């Protein structure tokens, strides 16, 4: 069986890693390198990740792959501080005791919040919250005041307009955010990407770089035609390891109607990566919510882990490329946020900076969106959409993409044996 994979991000590579052991696989990648959001860029003489990636001990699928590829020694888990900085004051969010000190909420609200967080941590089926909005969920279980003070700024940071964001998304974030120990790969994801690339090539699969797919077409005898800029090739099935929005752009009207991909917004992501002359703070993941800042900021301070004094400042937008003027404003905002973390900080600490941005990085998990997505899987035979597979893992992470690749592999094997 001949299989085409569109996209050589971690999802495409994981699918190819599994499928190339049994089938004839070709991967088509638009860029002249693999890795997508997990790839590295250059900053000065350093090779660094363009978005900082970390794992939790629960990310068992990707940890298994890291071990299978002989990279277990490059993965290390470290204790880190994850803090919220509210009006200049640090709250270590990995300690439940910090909740008792949160300003602006009554003792009853603190108790309700603590009970709510404990309940979330023991609930495994977050999909059941999908029919309510994140704000309703918090207001009903805690209070409007708790929502406004502590959850609204986080949702605004990520989605701007949060009214349609599902409670299932928030459930997944709260569950993920509970760890005070995180796993990182030395040198970032680059080692994992090149080990995967080597293994895939060794198994005889082709990785076609600088090959943008322009269209996909179903033939009358249930084969698939892939169209690049200068060629057409036939396959038995296609695995689309790109966003569902980009999949739709490749389909003709008939195929789009058959797929019935539910509509949702997608987030675009950007990141400033700043190399500082001195360490900024002991904290690793820092959420800054300060009255004087226009927007709250998240700062990921990797100096706590690598000693390189690199600070990642991610920014999310709903489907809109960031303009040059916005870029300047974001930088001004960040300088203000860094000063909130360390009052001694000033702009002369900035040694180098680089900015990058990407489109369609993750879907906005809107109310009821996931139910429709689950129904969309398997509607069209021979076309696999890992991004439409929603089981317990709702956030789009490296581990989720590894789980989805395994599920696609199982489905294709079952179809092949039937």
Ligand X SMILES: Cc1cc2nc3c(=O)[nH]c(=O)nc-3n(C[C@H](O)[C@H](O)[C@H](O)COP(=O)(O)OP(=O)(O)OC[C@H]3O[C@@H](n4cnc5c(N)ncnc54)[C@H](O)[C@@H]3O)c2cc1C
**Percentage helix, strand, coil, to 5, in the chain?**
40, 25, 35
**Out of 4, 5, 11, 127, which residue is the one contacting ligand X (CB under 6 A)?**
11
Q: Are 405 and 11 in contact (CB under 8 A)?
A: yes
Decide if residue 363 touches ligand X (CB under 6 A): no
Residue 158 vs 275, nearer CB to ligand X:
158
Query: For residues 128 and 214, which CB has a smaller minimum distance to ligand X in the complex?
Result: 214
Nearer to ligand X, 50 or 146 (CB): 50
Does 8 interact with ligand X (rule: CB under 6 A)?
yes
Judged by CB, which is closer to ligand X: 7, or 126?
7
Residue 144 or 201 having the CB closest to ligand X: 201
Number of residues binding to ligand X, judged by CB under 6 A? 31
Q: Which residues 6+ apart lie within 8 Å of 274 measured at CB? A: 310, 311, 313, 334, 338, 350, 352, 353
| Residue of 22, 373, 402 whose CA lies nearest to 196 | 402
Interface with ligand X, residue 311, by CB under 6 A: no
Site string for ligand X, 257-296 (x = CB under 6 A): ------------x-x-------------------------
Sign (positive/negative) of CA torsion 236, 241, 245, 249?
negative
> Closer to ligand X at the Cβ: 161 or 212?
212
Q: Which residues ranging from 186 to 225 are in contact with ligand X (CB under 6 A)?
A: 212-213
* Residues of this chain, 14-53, that bind ligand X according to CB under 6 A: 28-31, 36-38, 51, 53
> Does residue 397 interact with ligand X by CB under 6 A?
yes
240 binds ligand X (CB under 6 A): no
CA distances from 173 to 143, 184, 233, 314 (A): 19, 19, 41, 16
Nearer to ligand X, 241 or 394 (CB): 241
- CB of residue 389 to ligand X, shortest distance in Å: 12
Q: Which of 12, 262, 283, 296 is close enough to bind ligand X by CB under 6 A? A: 12
Instruction: State the DSSP string of 77-129.
Output: EEE--EEEEETTEEEETTSTHHHHH-TTS-HHHHHHHHHHHHHHHH---GGGG
Using CA of residue 54, residue 59, residue 61, residue 66, what is the dihedral sign?
positive
The span of 5-13, 150-158, 253-261, 347-355 binding ligand X (CB under 6 A) equals 5-13
Helices (H) and strands (E) in the chain, counts: 15, 19
The distance of closest approach from Cβ of residue 359 to ligand X in the complex, given in angstroms and rounded to an integer, is 9
CB-based contacts of 115, cutoff 8 Å, min separation 6: none
Instruction: Give whichever of 51 and 159 is closer to ligand X, judged by the CB atom.
Output: 51
To 10 degrees, what angle do helices 190-202 and 10-19 make? 30
Q: State in Å, rounded, how far the first CA of the chain is from the last one.
A: 14
Three-state secondary structure readout of 385-399: CHHHCCCCCCCCCHH
Kindly indicate which of the ranges 129-137, 337-345, 368-376, 398-406 contains the residues binding ligand X, using the contact rule CB under 6 A.
Answer: 398-406
Residues of this chain that interact with ligand X (CB under 6 A) are 6-12, 28-31, 36-38, 51, 53-54, 212-213, 241-242, 246, 269, 271, 314, 361, 396-399, 401
């Amino acid at each position: 069986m001949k299989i085409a994979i569109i996209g050589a991000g971690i999802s495409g590579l994981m699918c190819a890693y599994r499928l190339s052991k049994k089938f004839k696989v070709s991967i088509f990648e638009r860029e002249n390198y693999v890795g997508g959001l997990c790839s590295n860029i250059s900053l000065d003489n350093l090779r660094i990740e363009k978005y900082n990636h970390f794992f939790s001990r629960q990310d068992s699928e990707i940890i298994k792959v890291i071990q299978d590829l002989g990279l277990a020694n490059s993965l290390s888990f470290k204790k880190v501080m994850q803090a919220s900085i509210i009006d200049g004051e640090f709250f270590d969010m990995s300690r439940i005791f910090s909740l008792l000190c949160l300003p602006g909420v009554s003792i009853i609200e603190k108790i309700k919040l603590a009970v709510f967080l404990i309940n979330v941590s023991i609930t495994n089926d977050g999909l059941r919250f999908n029919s309510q909005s994140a704000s309703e969920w918090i207001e009903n279980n805690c209070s409007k005041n708790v929502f406004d003070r502590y959850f609204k700024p986080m949702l605004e940071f990520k989605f701007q307009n949060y009214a349609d964001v599902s409670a299932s998304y928030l459930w997944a974030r709260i569950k993920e955010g509970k760890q005070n120990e995180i796993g990182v790969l030395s040198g970032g994801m680059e080692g994992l990407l090149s080990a995967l690339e080597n293994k895939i090539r060794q198994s005889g699969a082709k990785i076609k770089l600088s090959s943008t797919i322009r269209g996909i077409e179903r033939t009358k005898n249930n084969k698939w035609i892939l169209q690049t800029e200068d060629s057409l090739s036939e396959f038995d099935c296609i695995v689309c390891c790109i966003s569902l929005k980009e999949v739709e752009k490749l389909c003709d009207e008939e195929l789009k109607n058959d797929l019935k991909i539910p509509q949702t917004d997608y987030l675009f992501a950007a990141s400033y990566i700043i190399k500082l002359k001195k360490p900024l703070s002991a904290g690793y993941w820092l959420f800054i919510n300060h009255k004087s800042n226009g927007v709250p900021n998240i700062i990921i301070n990797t100096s706590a882990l690598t000693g390189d004094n690199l600070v990642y400042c991610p920014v999310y937008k709903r489907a809109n490329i960031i303009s040059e003027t916005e870029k300047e404003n974001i930088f001004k905002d960040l300088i203000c946020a860094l000063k909130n973390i360390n009052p001694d900080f000033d702009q002369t600490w900035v040694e180098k900076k680089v900015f990058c941005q990407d489109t369609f990085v993750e879907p906005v998990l809107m109310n009821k969106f996931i139910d429709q997505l689950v129904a969309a899987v398997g509607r069209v035979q021979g076309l696999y959409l890992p991004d439409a597979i929603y089981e317990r893992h709702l956030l789009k992470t490296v581990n989720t993409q590894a789980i989805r690749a395994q599920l696609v592999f199982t489905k294709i094997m079952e179809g092949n044996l039937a």
